[in-house]
Amino acid sequence: MKIKDFLCQEAVVLGIKAKDKEAAICEMVDVLKRLKKIKDAPPVVELLMQREKLGSTGIGQGVAIPHAKIDFIEKQIGVLGISQGGVDFESLDGAPAHLIFLLVCPAAAASGEHLLAMASVSRVFKDKPFRQSLLKATTAQEVIGLIEKLDA
The pLDDT tens digits of the residues spanning 132-147 come to 999 999 999 999 999 9
The domains found in the chain, sorted by start residue, are 3-150 (3.40.930.10)
Q: What is the pLDDT of residues 78-103, one digit of tens each?
A: 999 999 999 999 998 999 999 999 99
Options 67, 89, 105, 114, the catalytic residue: 67
Q: What is the pLDDT of residue 109?
A: 66
Grouping H, G, I as helix, E, B as strand and the rest as coil, residue 14 is: strand
Q: Quick check: is 98 catalytic? A: no
Beta strand 63-64 with 67-70 is unpaired
At 107, the pLDDT band (50, 70, 90 cuts) reads confident
DSSP helix/strand/coil, 16 = coil
Q: What gap in Å lies between CA 129 and CA 127, rounded to an integer?
A: 6
pLDDT of residue 117: 85
* The pLDDT of residue 41: 93
* pLDDT given for residue 22 in this prediction: 96
Asked if the model's pLDDT at residue 8 lies above 80, the reply is yes
pLDDT tens digits, residue range 17-72?
999 999 999 999 999 999 999 989 999 999 999 999 998 899 999 999 999 988 88
Checking if the pLDDT of 118 tops 80, the result is: yes
Q: Which residues of 80-109 are buried (b: 16+ CB within 10 A; e: fewer)?
A: bbbbeeebbbbbeeeebbbbbbbbbbbeeb
At 128 the pLDDT is 94
Q: What is the pLDDT of residue 92?
A: 86
